[in-house]
Amino acid sequence: MINKLTNIVKPFLFLLAPIHCEVCKKELTEFSQFKYLCMTCFDSMPLAQNCEYSFNILLNHIPKENLYIDEVFSLFEIKSNNSYMDSIYSLKYLGLYDIGFEFGELLGKKVLKEKKFEYQISTSVPIHKARYRERGYNQSDFIAKGASNTLNIEFDDRLIKRKIYTKSQTLMNKSERKINVSDIFDIYSESVNFENKNIMLFDDVITTGSTLNAIAKTLKEFGAYKVAVATLASAL
Ligand SMILES: [Zn+2]
């Protein structure tokens, strides 16, 4: 109950505080083009490697014969400077879901420059309904909406469902993650027909790609032609 109340109150408390950059915490001036990001942090954002480079790194984590992902896009990388992860923390845990939309639009612009294929449908990595109840929203929906807006792709949040409640990925080691993600996703029976369509799948962070690859596998089993993944942060 206390948790629930805190979750409801937090975003309103934030509205009373001065609006600041979610990366450096400095107060935003009227010159900022963004609601949650100052121009200094925008200009010095450690942009993630391009799609082709990221795809080759992904192949170090997942052998080619088990890889169902066709393209990989990320906005920023977090190995050299992880202060940008603060924006994702605020997006996930402080109720600031609008950050997802704003950063999602930036991600969309980067994808536009790098993509090789055209995508017809976008969707997001689902969170289990128990976690959805606790948090009140799925952060990746907002990333997907912002990026899909820029990319002009139709967003569908009722494509994939999570069958099993899993413990947080960040608390697990690599082999635990692989076991954990196998066979936990399914397709909603009433989903639109996406056979032979190209789908772009959104999440907040890519670490090993195993969760995203498990979903890509499920989408392809149900007829998707190509599956791209796009995340705000890359830890690849
Ligand atoms: Zn800043």
Contacts of residue 59, defined as CB under 8 A and 6 or more positions apart, other chains included, come to 67
CA of 26 to the centre of ligand 1 (A): 6
What pLDDT is recorded for position 174? 54
CA of 25 to the centre of ligand 1 (A): 6
Residue 58: pLDDT band with limits 50, 70, 90: very high
CA of 136 to the centre of ligand 1 (A): 27
Residue 163: pLDDT band with limits 50, 70, 90: confident
Alpha-carbon torsion, ordered 72, 78, 79, 81, to 10 deg:
150
Query: If you classify domain 45-234 with CATH, what class do you get?
Result: alpha beta
CA of 169 to the centre of ligand 1 (A): 28
Query: What are 204-227's pLDDT values in tens digits?
Result: 999 999 999 999 999 998 899 999
Query: What are 83-129's pLDDT values in tens digits?
Result: 999 999 999 999 999 999 999 999 999 999 999 999 999 999 998 88
> Mind giving me the DSSP string for 57-110?
HHHHHS-GGG----EEEEEEE-SS-GGGHHHHHHHHHSS-THHHHHHHHHHHHH
CA of 34 to the centre of ligand 1 (A): 10
